Amino acid sequence: MNEATSSNGEGMNNEERLLELAKNKPEGISNEQIKQCMPNLLLEELAIIINKCLKNGSLELFKTKDKLLYKYKDSSKKNIVRGSDNEEKIVYKIIEEAGNKGIWIRDIRFKSNLNMTQLNKVLKSLETKKIIKAVKSVSASKKKVYMLYDLEADSSVTGGAWYQDQDFESEFVDVLSQQCHRYLRQKWDDANNMGGGPLLARNRSYATANDVHKFISELGISKVSLSVDDIESILYTVVLDNNAERIVASNGSFLYRAVNKFMSTPGLVKTTCGICPIANRCADTGLINPQAF
């Protein structure tokens, strides 16, 4: 009987047992650990099984500082490697390592040492097989990054909830910002109407990003699912617009409260001289004067 397929008495052959062991140890399994778990197996038999698994792509060999480890390879990935030529395998590996942030074609070329024609052919083939996909990056409209087909692109690539097809949804952000401000304003009014003195009213008027997130979710104005962090960034724009203030709570989180807008700045202050940091040294004569600039 072939040792690789001899039964262990539990309906599993040695190869299956080895793969099961590797599956349960995603960080990798060493020769010693395999021997401990399969003590009845002779070294030669083990070598045959391991070689078979390495050859058919069920196991991968990794080298750590002082030992060799075997890792189980996902069958879907194994099929990709099986049905692809060497160039595709190299490019696939590079793209896989880039994760959901993707990798730019120039970097793939640099890492793979393939020329542009070869690389384009390989990328096209992998894209056609739906193994990888190209995603446009919001950071540069003409820049595409490649990532594995099943991955959801990182928000640094897609721009997160505020981008639709690489376009910034300014109207959506404006509406959200208005609604966040409306909630804070309502909370402020309610706190004042409750009475109990200005300090108590002030303390009552603070809201957390979670409160606002709940309010926005219940309004149902967003087709995409927004996280508390998304709402936090919208609230920050409300603060920057001088419509709210933000303080740090004792637990380190932020609290928001609607405020009356500051008086609008007179036009004169907005002129170049109005904001000039050396205006106090400016005169008709001397080095710093209106004609000198």
Residues that bind ligand SF4 (CB under 6 A): 272-273, 276, 278-279, 282, 288, 290, 293
d(CA 83, CA 130): 13
Smallest separation (angstroms) from ligand SF4 to the CB of 292: 7
The residue among 201 and 282 lying less far from ligand SF4, judged by its C-beta, is 282
Smallest separation (angstroms) from ligand SF4 to the CB of 282: 3
Residues 6+ apart with CB under 8 A from 92: 80, 81, 84, 126, 131, 132
The 3-state DSSP class for residue 32 equals: helix
Question: What 8-state DSSP symbol labels residue 13?
Answer: B
Smallest separation (angstroms) from ligand SF4 to the CB of 276: 3
Smallest separation (angstroms) from ligand SF4 to the CB of 271: 8
| Residue environment code for 173-196, b if the CB has 16+ CB neighbours within 10 A, otherwise e | eeebbebbbebbbebbeebeeeee
CB atoms within 10 A of CB 243: 21
The residue among 193 and 272 lying less far from ligand SF4, judged by its C-beta, is 272
Helices (H), 60-101: 75-82, 86-98
Residue among 47, 7, 6, 5 nearest 34 (CA): 47
Residue among 18, 13, 48, 44 nearest 33 (CA): 18
Smallest separation (angstroms) from ligand SF4 to the CB of 267: 15
The residue among 40 and 272 lying less far from ligand SF4, judged by its C-beta, is 272
Backbone Cα Rg of the chain: 31
Beta-strand pair 59-63/68-72:
antiparallel
The residue among 38 and 288 lying less far from ligand SF4, judged by its C-beta, is 288
Smallest separation (angstroms) from ligand SF4 to the CB of 262: 24
The residue among 200 and 273 lying less far from ligand SF4, judged by its C-beta, is 273
Reading the block at residue 62, the tokens are 């990794």
**Torsions phi, psi of 282, nearest 5?**
-85, 135
Smallest separation (angstroms) from ligand SF4 to the CB of 265: 17
The residue among 272 and 285 lying less far from ligand SF4, judged by its C-beta, is 272
